[in-house]
Amino acid sequence: MKDYEHLYINGEWVAPIDSKPPLEVIDSATEEVMACVAQGGTSDTNAAVAAARAAFESWSQTPVDVRAKYLRDIGAGLTARFSEIAEVISGEVGSPKAFAEMVQAGLSVGDWETYASLIETYEWEQTHGNSLIVKEPIGVVGAITPWNYPLYLIVCKVGPALAAGCTVVLKPASLTPLNAIILTEVIHEAGLPAGVFNLVIGSGSEVGTALATHPDVDMVSLTGSGPVGAQVSKDAADTVKRVGLELGGKSANVILDDADPAAIAMGAVFGCMLNSGQTCSALTRVLIPRSREQEFLDAIVAEASQLTLVDPHATLDDPMALFHGLGPMVSRSQQETVRGYIQKGIDEGATLLVGGPEQPEEFEKGFYVKPTVFAGVTPDMTIAQEEIFGPVLSIMTYEDDDDAVRIANGTVFGLGGAVQSADVERAKAVAKRMRTGQVDINGAAFNTTAPFGGYKQSGNTRERGVFGLEEFLETKSLQLP
């Protein structure tokens, strides 16, 4: 076990001003303490904001090529610590080693080059009539990030914010702060000017609130739950700062009646179960045509039955481990929440086909939840409406395309979605009717430069690529004689 006794403020590792007990970081598989981490509070947040505010004028005027070099140096530093990052996230989150390497660490190290290249080609000024339209950094950004993809979702905020010329105060999830410490060590080694990036680990109720209410914070960017997003918006209202929210989802995977059951089964299961279901855009509702219900049920159950619970630290020989091996939930609390939803599904009359709420027999320790599949789910059931954030798949039936769209749109969320069909044009037509931020058609590949964000209560921001960069920019109009 290692202790981390400092926060990172104004280019230095400093002891917290506020006297608080350290946070224990728990290994999700062993339930043992991985590390103890210093916890900051309001005074530490204020100090970090002051440092970021003081650094903003110089950093915002730093030439693009210099900012791009810093971004590339950070990316190189993370690449050098790739294995360590994957190992840490396997413990903090419970992501199996193959998934931690390919996704958790892999995405996190690559995006720095993306943003470096982007700002070198971005059109910072445009002429419209007699006006010069100028894009400028918004200012000091408070970044509040979650635990499910902890480093990648930090990069989705910190990367474009720094690229845009903003300064940053990062508050990572308290459950998973170790990856953020690694990033901060890399940033320090890269020589980023003092105050441009600051790290304050602490509770959302204190550090998050301090960022949202602080008059010198120009923007808060949050990825988290709906209730937390609503509270941040309220906290930020008095200072009328920009608030970017990437929130929850209850995404529908619409299987049209011309699809091949064997072809869609793996995607239907993996789309829900990736990262043990701890994914905001997970395809947790599968909608199948009533006319072919049994065919699709049989194919999905056969695929789901191949899922296994695994030790996230183990190296598995199975080449399909990325798709079939699931780790534990991030915490005891999350495990209990997901099990409660499974029991709720049973109590409300859904048909349990795979899994259940009990502790898996093969794992006496660890925050494991059995991968679970329900059929006979109706749109009014709790498991069809609320975000579970665990390995729970709800299968629902529909009558025709119009009915499928109605059910898909029948929640307060609108983050992700998918459509499967033998006819791509038909799939596109259905996808365009879905009130959601992104729709995958026939298992199309994940695009890290496409905009990511939601409709309705799934949020109001777009991250990744040029769309993510522009979230951190202001638009100024200069009228020229």
Q: What is the DSSP letter of 22?
A: P
Strand partners, 219: 141, 242
Instruction: Give the separation between CA 465 and CA 253, rounded to whole angstroms.
Output: 25
Q: Are 440 and 281 in contact (CB under 8 A)?
A: no
| Token pair belonging to 443 | 């298992």
What does 185-219 look like in DSSP terms, one character per residue? HHHHHHTPPTTSEEE----IIIIIHHHHH-TT--E
| DSSP helix/strand/coil, 174 | coil
Closest CA to 165 of 106, 228, 119: 119
Contact 239, 215 (CB under 8 A): yes
DSSP letter string over 350-388?
Answer: PEEEE--SSPPTT-SSS-----EEEES--TTSHHHHS--
Sign (positive or negative) of CA dihedral 181, 142, 153, 63: negative
Active-site residues: which are they?
Answer: 246, 280
Sort strands 417-420 and 392-398 into parallel, antiparallel or unpaired.
unpaired
Token pair listed for 273: 């179960």
SS3 assignment, position 319: coil
| Cβ neighbours, 10 Å, residue 329 | 26
Please, are residues 199 and 170 in contact by the beta-carbon 8 Å criterion? Answer: yes
Q: What is the largest CA-CA distance in the chain?
A: 77
Residue owning tokens 């869609």 = 264
For residue 274, what is the DSSP state? Answer: G
